[in-house]
Every structure is written in structure tokens, then in C-alpha cells.
């Protein structure tokens, strides 16, 4: 079991975005969600995390309807790293990471030592401790993205939902963040659902890929089965050569 989508239809006004998507994202795996711009990837994540409600169909998490769960309960189960995190108020980086603990702290409660320890650990693992006391409004795009990732780790949820979470990161920090997410899957049994533009990065770190095209699931399954030249042609309309890279022991793609 995991996240199950049953015949999901979704429109923004009269703009139809998803039409009849049914699939299951098994728990304990690193899932990559790929597809052309505007194909509905972010919308799909928002439906999975309960931030949007489908016009038709239902989303289930471990067999339970997401629209029946309280916001706080969902926040304890799913941590979201949005594509673009902006705040106007000058919170410090540490305060933003502590926001990840709010779903665990009672309404009128104060952070416990355990909450502070988890914030510290999340900042340590994302290399954000150096700017813990700086205002997030003054951080660079990549620094801010790592702080928001730390917030999601501090949330200690079973599912980590990443929306192009490495789009502003340099290659070293991109690899570090992907490795961290993959370690959480392997060692702690987390589920990661990650929208990614970089197919090679997805092929390297994900176990399962979902390709969206024109509001439908065009292909979905284990990386080795799904990542093929015909699928890339059908989804992105580009020619490619898919090969097995001996160095990283993963399929990779060269675009022609
Ligand atoms: N709030 C909104 N109101 C109206 N239309 C929207 C809204 N958000 C997204 N859309 C439209 O819905 C479609 C799907 O958007 P979505 O952000 O889910 O795509 P995406 O696959 O994540 O795209 P990208 O790769 O560019 O990030 C697009 O055509 C977009 O213009």
C-alpha cells in the first residue's frame, strides 16, 4: 500500500489538467514524476498531499481517504518541499526549519528539546547550520531551498514530497540532497515522491518512474522497464539513446 489515486480528474476553472489518472505509488520507494512543462506534475503532488481536492475521483494514503484526514494529521504523514518557497516575514532559517515540527507540537505548546534536536539534525544533514540565524529573505535561492528541505526532514513524515527540490542547487548539493533522500528510503523506509526535470538524475536515484503527458499517466513502473527510447519520444518528443552506465550501474539517457 501507499498513495493510491483512483480515477482522478482535476481542472483549474475550465482548464483541464488531469483526466482519469489511476495509479498506486507504493510505499518505501523513491518515485520520480516526470513530464513536459504544464503536464500536471505539481498539480498531482498537490492532490497527493491534500492541498488540492480532485473534481472527481479519490486519493488514498494507506487505504484512508486523504480528503477525510485533518490537515495536521496529513502534515505528520506528508512533508512537502514546494517548487517555490517564499516568505515575506524575516524568519530565521532555524525558525523555518522549526515550522516542520509544528504538526507535532500541541496547539499551545512550546518546542521540546527533542524538537530542537530534530531541527539541529535536519540542518546538520543539509549543511544549513552556518546560516541558521540568518533571515531566509536574505538567503540565495539554493540556500533557501536547502533550508526548506531541512524543514521537511524535521517534519519526520513517512512521505517526502519534493517538487523540483534541487532546481536551484549546484551539482554537489544536488547529489547530496538526492543521496539524503535515497538514504531515507533505504534506511528509514520513507516514501519519496519527487518531481524532476532531469531524467538522468531521476534514473540514478529513483526506483520507479511516472511519466505524465496531457493530463494522463503515459508510463509508470520500475526504472529499468519504463526508461526506454520510445517512452521518451512519446512523452517529450525528442530522440534519445538510452544506455546502461557501468560507472553508476544505472540506465542513463543521451538526447540526440
Ligand atoms: N493556480 C492555477 N490556476 C490556473 N491554471 C493553473 C494553476 N496552476 C497551474 N495551472 C495550469 O495547469 C497546468 C498544469 O500545471 P502544473 O504546475 O501542474 O504543471 P507542471 O507539470 O508541474 O509544469 P512545470 O514542469 O512547468 O513545473 C498548466 O497548464 C498550468 O498553466
User: Which residues lie below 8 Å from residue 249, measured CB to CB, with a gap of 6+?
Assistant: none
Q: Is the pLDDT of residue 185 over 90?
A: yes
- Higher pLDDT among residues 68 and 193, named by residue: 193
| Ligand 1 center to 162 CA (angstroms) | 16
DSSP state of 26: E
Dihedrals phi, psi of 53, to nearest 5 degrees: -110, 135
Q: Is the pLDDT of residue 242 over 90?
A: yes
Q: Is the pLDDT of residue 194 over 80?
A: yes
Give the residue, by CA position, lying nearest to ligand 1 atom 5.
12
Q: Is the pLDDT of residue 110 over 90?
A: no
What ipTM describes this predicted complex?
0.98
Give the residue, by CA position, lying nearest to ligand 1 atom 16.
40
**Which residues pair with residue 192 across a beta bridge?**
30, 160
Domain span at residue 21 reads 2-255
pLDDT of residue 137: 92
pLDDT of residue 18: 97
Task: For the sheet with 159-163, list strands across it.
Answer: 78-81, 159-163, 191-195, 30-34, 208-213, 216-222
Is residue 105 very low, low, confident or very high in pLDDT (cuts 50, 70, 90)?
Answer: confident
pLDDT of residue 64: 87
| Ligand 1 center to 30 CA (angstroms) | 23
**Region 206-227 average pLDDT:** 97
- Higher pLDDT among residues 250 and 68, named by residue: 250
State how far the alpha carbon of 158 is from the alpha carbons of 3, 48, 139, 186, 192, in Å: 11, 13, 28, 13, 9
The rounded mean pLDDT for the chain is 94
**What's the domain count of the chain?**
1
| Ligand 1 center to 40 CA (angstroms) | 6
**Region 186-195 average pLDDT:** 96
Question: What is d(CA 191, CA 25) in angstroms, rounded to the nearest whole number?
Answer: 9
pLDDT of residue 16: 95
pLDDT of residue 67: 83
**35 CB less than 6 Å from ligand 1?**
yes
pLDDT of residue 86: 80
State how far the alpha carbon of 46 is from the alpha carbons of 177, 180, 192, in Å: 21, 23, 14
The CATH number linked to 104 is 3.40.50.300
- Higher pLDDT among residues 146 and 88, named by residue: 146
| Ligand 1 center to 42 CA (angstroms) | 7
Is residue 104 very low, low, confident or very high in pLDDT (cuts 50, 70, 90)?
Answer: confident
Dihedrals phi, psi of 71, to nearest 5 degrees: -55, -45
Is residue 106 very low, low, confident or very high in pLDDT (cuts 50, 70, 90)?
Answer: confident
Span 115-171, pLDDT tens digits? 999 999 999 999 999 999 999 999 999 999 999 999 999 999 999 999 999 998 999
Q: Is the pLDDT of residue 253 over 90?
A: yes
Amino acid at each position: 500500500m501507499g498513495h493510491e489515486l483512483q480515477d482522478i480528474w482535476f481542472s483549474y476553472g475550465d482548464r483541464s489538467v488531469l483526466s482519469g489518472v489511476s495509479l498506486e505509488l507504493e510505499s518505501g520507494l523513491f518515485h520520480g514524476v516526470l513530464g513536459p512543462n504544464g503536464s500536471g506534475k505539481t498539480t498531482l503532488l498537490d492532490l497527493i498531499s491534500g492541498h488540492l481536492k480532485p473534481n472527481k475521483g479519490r486519493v488514498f494514503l494507506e487505504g484512508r481517504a486523504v480528503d477525510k484526514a485533518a490537515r495536521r494529521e496529513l502534515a505528520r504523514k506528508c512533508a512537502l518541499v514546494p517548487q517555490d518557497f517564499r516568505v515575506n516575514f524575516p524568519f530565521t532559517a532555524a525558525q523555518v526549519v522549526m515550522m516542520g515540527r509544528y504538526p507535532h507540537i500541541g496547539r499551545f505548546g512550546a518546542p521540546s528539546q527533542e524538537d530542537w534536536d530534530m531541527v539541529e539534525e535536519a540542518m546538520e544533514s543539509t549543511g544549513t547550520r552556518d546560516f541558521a540565524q540568518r533571515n531566509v529573505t536574505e538567503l540565495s535561492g539554493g540556500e533557501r531551498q536547502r533550508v526548506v528541505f531541512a524543514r521537511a526532514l524535521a517534519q519526520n513524515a513517512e512521505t517526502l514530497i519534493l517538487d523540483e527540490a534541487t532546481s536551484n542547487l549546484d551539482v554537489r548539493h544536488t547529489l547530496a540532497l538526492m543521496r539524503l533522500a535515497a538514504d531515507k528510503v533505504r534506511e528509514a523506509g520513507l516514501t519519496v515522491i519527487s518531481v524532476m526535470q532531469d531524467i538522468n538524475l531521476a534514473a540514478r536515484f529513483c526506483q520507479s518512474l511516472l511519466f505524465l503527458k496531457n493530463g494522463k499517466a503515459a508510463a509508470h513502473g520500475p526504472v529499468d522497464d519504463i526508461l526506454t527510447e520510445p517512452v521518451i519520444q512519446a512523452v517529450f518528443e525528442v530522440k534519445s539513446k538510452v544506455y546502461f552506465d557501468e560507472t553508476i550501474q544505472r540506465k542513463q539517457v543521451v538526447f540526440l
